[in-house]
């Protein structure tokens, strides 16, 4: 059976950022999120639900948790360190 995946709902992510580490420089950048997506995947009869961060990159909307160097997410009201 082929796997299926779809977005069920999106929620605005105002004030949220993806934290991404550059592998070459080890510097961390904050990338603004556009939304959170309630994501459903089905594989071999098993259904899973996840909330995944999404943002703009290279002119397309993408899942931030698939970016190279993705560390996590944080809100603008959260202090680092």
Structure confidence by residue, pLDDT tens digits, 7-66: 999 999 999 999 999 988 989 999 999 999 999 999 888 999 999 999 997 889 999 999
DSSP helix/strand/coil, 11: strand
Please report whether residue 80 resides in a domain.
no
CB atoms within 10 A of CB 39: 19
Please report whether residue 81 resides in a domain.
no
Q: What is the pLDDT of residue 63?
A: 95
Number of domains in the chain: 1
> Which domain, by its residues, includes 28?
4-75
* 59: region left, alpha or beta (phi > 0 left; psi from -120 to 50 alpha): left
Cα 2 vs. chain centroid, distance in angstroms?
Answer: 24
- CB contact at 8 A, 71 and 28: yes
Q: What is the DSSP letter of 69?
A: T
pTM of this structure:
0.81
């Amino acid at each position: 059976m082929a796997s299926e995946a779809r977005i069920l709902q999106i929620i605005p992510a105002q004030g949220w950022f993806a934290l991404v580490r550059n592998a070459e420089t080890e510097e961390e950048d904050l990338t603004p999120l556009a939304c959170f997506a309630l994501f459903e995947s089905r594989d071999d009869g098993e259904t899973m639900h996840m909330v995944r961060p999404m943002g703009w990159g290279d002119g397309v909307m993408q899942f931030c948790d698939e970016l190279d160097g993705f560390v996590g997410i944080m809100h603008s009201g959260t202090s680092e360190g």
